[in-house]
Chains A and B, each alone.
Chain A
């Protein structure tokens, strides 16, 4: 299937916060209560539409365990977006956000869009981290924020799509150089590089790609 852009995402966060479940809910629209621990990195993809344009999302679901950290880090390279997930019923997963964020910032492109996600919002009774705390953390570090439930599918679509919208906007603003694949953005197969640039200039108006040689 043809598409205009391909965005690469990574999902990161402590083990057991529901990263794989979020991905499964987004790609397959189902919930699996018992999930094997992710070994290393797994992969999923889905097509979405933004502004009338087909966009393919390629999503890397990483293992939260510390012992896999060296592997997951090498996947940070070339990601356009990151979903940083914590579990609203486990405060420790919220406390570790800073470490994750540092790790992500250090090993990825500086333009990477990061969405903070408080997952398991269906478990309101066991809530351990207030929504306001998540919002404050996001504000402080310049992230987008959302609470989701992989179980009920609440906000799951939105989380993935809003991140894509933000990336798309950055392309329009010329922040991302679409010709540089290390940004985690590829043009679709039907448009060659130069065509892509022209389309973009035509559609976006003032959006000449930012980077030069």
Chain B
């Protein structure tokens, strides 16, 4: 009846027009009605719904909104003034806190929510507003599973949204406590800050109601992403945010079944955090453990999103805590456990987690967890400084258990797809940057070595460019009798090299190469000019040798390396090479004349030679794909193009050089240390160099195990071969010049006893040739196995020696893939 009366009164007010004074009276009337209720009805257990309180509160809110829409913005109307002056919100907070009458808490919470979200003028800066709001925030999440959870989370999220739109207001919610504990713990002046909003949200993330829990996560996300330093600092130093988030991750991880099928783990595509999880009903449970796995992964996804959006300081700290508290304490032991099926499942899960991670901060911690911090070159059989986890994982790439090998290789493949420079550096590049896999002029004497490195680094490239060009032509003249070929040579050069700028960048390389050739000849100190001509001529010889198999081989005795390389080539191409462009090949090859062993095979002329080299690696009689309708080379080209484009985009930020570098560890410093120190350091570095020389080039533990696996291509299972080649193809795509030449340049002047992928393959081929004879009816069986592999023929009857034959087929296909990658890298490079 009372409410009826108020409604009538209200309508009467409205009818009188938007007169401000009556509105205020009205407002006061409703407020008084509420306070009177408490004066008159002490200790009643009547639920709030049965009283007029909700109605009065609604009317008050309506009046405030009406008032705001009637007056110009920026001014508080009389109702709002009354609200602020009479500490109405504080009183409401007290009433809500005691929850008297029952249900009052919900009413108060939704009044605050409405007030904050609907009133447009900034309210939080008013002390009478934010003090009450802050106190109410502390009430939220106090009681677990309280009936007001829903209103609590609505209120908290509204506060978060308000703060987010005016981040400085977060400071009203950072309460500096008089720290009594302070002197007990440390003597430092660490003010204890209470960030009640975060604590209340954290409490509600534990709610049984998944909707409430998710909203609480959203609220945390808003708070964590505030740009204010003060709040970021408070979150990290004064709340349990990081530990609670990580603990939940750990808890969900521990709930996973001990063993899961690797295929299932991989097949679970989607695990986005948020409401998705609760909509996934039983109907989608396709394998045991799926629900647990989804919960775990979606929480990790939440962490990832959180870290991506959070204040950088928060992001970093949370990532570090996840690294220390979750990865090291839980993932590591379960991956390293001796139980094989457990280890397989855990490795798979780690791979799946890694695949999901996209925030750079968390990715960095994953990389550090798996690989450690080391960035210096590795030494053979040196186990002292190695990161234990990394070591064990690399060992497992060649494990007795095939399945464990497979999942571990898969983990590394996933790593190589992640855009974090440290991954590539730690696994591979740190061992290649010295460039001592190929012969450096260093070996001719230290002085020349220094000169060489100086020369290659000093940027007088313009002059050098013209020099080398003329040298080249001279070289051609001296060596090749026909003037035609000279013409041809320069023509192709001009044709293929469109820009002089590109050439410039390559010049230093040419020079370096030049020096290397000097060492090949065994002449130590020769006067520069003549020397250059001399070796240039030899280089063109080399090219001619390689190209024209029928040509007389000149100067072979002089250069061991050259004969080695050409030997390989001739070996591989004795039977007609299936070159796509045989007629034009000679022209192309001739154009190579000036830099026959150029490591910039990504640079124009070398590419056809490289491509042919890979395509002709497997002898024709061991090939089987030509018997099928399609050799599939086009598909490889397309795939390589797509993948390489993705890969280069990913590596854009790494600032990798365009041309191979040889970084000497002791010279990495940018500054000049002064003459005196310089002399001392030079002496030292000479000593270092001496010791270095005794040390073989070591490709690093990772490449070592990968090359080992490649060398066993004919003795291991088809699955392993596919996985290994898949890893290598990722490596080959990486746009780093040193790795590129190491993997994809068959003409590299290798240091003694150094192996590359190419030399590994040539050994495999030699082995294959001898085995081929021992398998009767080799070609027919080879074809049969191929048909089985692509499913044209069911493999009911096993074929003798089928694993060797499968290996041969993988090798043939992989060579095509590598050729395609080399070609694509070249063309993309050229168009840039």
Contact = CB atoms under 8 A, between A and B. Distances in A.
A39 B269 contact: no
Interface of B: 113-114, 117-118, 154, 157-158, 160-162, 164-165, 215, 218, 221-222, 225, 269-270, 272-276, 279, 283-284, 286, 305, 309
Contacts of B272: 74-75, 77-78
Which 8 interchain pairs have the tightest Cβ spacing? A189-B283, A67-B164, A40-B218, A181-B270, A39-B157, A181-B269, A67-B165, A67-B161
21 contacts: A37-B117, A37-B158, A39-B157, A39-B215, A39-B218, A40-B215, A40-B218, A41-B218, A43-B275, A60-B275, A67-B160, A68-B164, A68-B222, A71-B221, A74-B273, A74-B274, A77-B272, A182-B269, A182-B270, A189-B283, A192-B286
A65 B162 CA distance: 10
A54 interface: no
Contact of B165 (A37, A45, A60, A66): A66
A75 B274 contact: yes
Nearest to B221: A71
A186 B161 contact: no
Interface string A180-196: 11100010110010000
B278 to A, nearest CB: 9
B154 A70 contact: no
A71 B269 CA distance: 21
B158 A39 contact: yes
Interface string A38-65: 0111010100000000000010100101
Contact of A186 (B154, B275, B284, B305): B284
B228 to A, nearest CB: 14
Nearest to A180: B269
Interface string A72-90: 0011011000000000000
A36 interface: yes
Nearest to B116: A37
Contact of A41 (B160, B222, B270, B274): B274
Contacts of A45: 279
B307 to A, nearest CB: 12
Given A78-B272, A181-B269, 10 more contacts: A36-B114, A36-B154, A39-B161, A39-B215, A41-B274, A43-B279, A67-B160, A78-B270, A181-B270, A189-B283
Nearest to A65: B161
A28 B646 CA distance: 45
Contacts of B162: 67
A77 B275 CA distance: 13
Nearest to B635: A212
A58 B218 contact: no
Nearest to B302: A74
A153 B117 CA distance: 27
Nearest to A66: B165
Interface of A: 36-37, 39-41, 43, 45, 58, 60, 63, 65-68, 70-71, 74-75, 77-78, 180-182, 186, 188-189, 192
A71 B165 contact: no
Contacts of A37: 117-118, 158
Nearest to B161: A67
Contacts of A36: 113-114, 117, 154
Nearest to A45: B279
A180 B270 CA distance: 9
A75 B277 CA distance: 12
Contact of A70 (B157, B165, B221, B269): B221
Nearest to B275: A43
Nearest to B268: A181
Contacts of A68: 161, 164, 218, 222
Contact of B222 (A43, A67, A180, A182): A67
B560 to A, nearest CB: 45
A68 B162 CA distance: 10
A192 to B, nearest CB: 8
A56 B786 CA distance: 44
B153 to A, nearest CB: 8
Given A65-B165, A67-B222, A74-B274, A189 B284 contact: yes
A87 to B, nearest CB: 17
B28 to A, nearest CB: 24
A77 B305 CA distance: 12
A189 B284 CA distance: 6
Nearest to A184: B270
A71 B216 CA distance: 12
A55 to B, nearest CB: 15
A181 B273 CA distance: 14
Nearest to A60: B275
A39 B165 contact: no
Contacts of A65: 161, 165
A180 B309 CA distance: 26
A70 B309 contact: yes
Nearest to A190: B283
Nearest to B284: A189
Nearest to A8: B276
A78 to B, nearest CB: 6
A189 B279 CA distance: 13
B764 to A, nearest CB: 27
Given A36-B117, A66-B165, A67-B165, A74 B154 contact: no
Given A41-B274, A181-B269, A74 B305 contact: yes
B662 to A, nearest CB: 39
A172 to B, nearest CB: 22
A162 B158 CA distance: 34
B222 A71 contact: yes
Nearest to A42: B275
A41 B272 CA distance: 14
Given A43-B275, A65-B161, A71 B218 contact: yes
Contacts of B221: 70-71
B149 to A, nearest CB: 14
A58 B276 CA distance: 10
Contacts of B225: 70
Contacts of B309: 70
Nearest to B215: A40
A36 B118 CA distance: 9
Contacts of B114: 36
Contacts of A40: 157, 215, 218
B32 to A, nearest CB: 26
Contacts of A70: 221-222, 225, 309
Contacts of A180: 269
A67 B162 CA distance: 8
Contacts of A181: 269-270
A90 to B, nearest CB: 15
Q: Which of B158, B161, B162 has the most CB of A within 10 A?
A: B161
A80 to B, nearest CB: 12
A58 B161 contact: no
A176 to B, nearest CB: 14
A43 B274 CA distance: 11
Interface centre among A37, A41, A58, A78 (most CB of B within 10 A): A37
